[in-house]
Structure 1
Amino acid sequence: GVALLRAAKALDNVAVDNPDQKTGVDIVRRAIEAPVRQIAENAGAEGSIIVGKLRETTDFGYGWNAQTDEFGDLYGQGVIDPAKVVRTALQGAASVAGLLVTTEAMVAEKPKKEAAAPAMPGGGGMDF
């Protein structure tokens, strides 16, 4: 999560020509924060507070260890954030988003609603 949060600084250099493009950059900026927020909430912490503290420093090794609830050098604590995996996931998401924006129609599977299991029959006089 920290790798994405650090990469958000690159969005400051994106040149936008109109308000729609600015909105798009803002959407990506919020989406980039989502993994850190979700990790924090899954660990029982407030995501906004964690994101705020992580933004206070630019040290790439600095982060929040959800297991110990401590801030510090993640590499020293044995926590790694594989940037290549994060980059690949972000590129894939951007590719799908671009496809959605430029396509007039999309086909998706309709979620199947499965009926609940039937109730158990009575004991036939065998109940207590």
Structure 2
Amino acid sequence: MPAKTITYAEDCRQAILRGVNKLADTVKVTLGPRGRNVVLEKKFGSPASTKDGVTVAKEIELEEPTENMGAQLVREVASKTSDVAGDGTTTAT
């Protein structure tokens, strides 16, 4: 396998969009006063339950590398929002 894989055109854009949507679909259930909890599986210890969008976003890793890049883009937005504003991470996602 080469050190870098270069992908072009519609296939790449669609894979990135799938990654963005997978992360957003998971995080959006935590939005607002009627938002629901998300249970996060940990490699060690007991599972964690949270309604914090940035916490949920940080825990998501997708298997397909190009989809994971899309998820990482959204994860970075949520993380920066959390650092600057301290809240609104679910809305940013």
TM-score class normalised by the smaller sequence = 0.3 to 0.5
Which entry has the higher C-alpha Rg, 1 or 2?
A: 1
Higher percent of residues as helix: 2
State TM-score, norm by structure 2: 0.32
State TM-score, norm by structure 1: 0.25
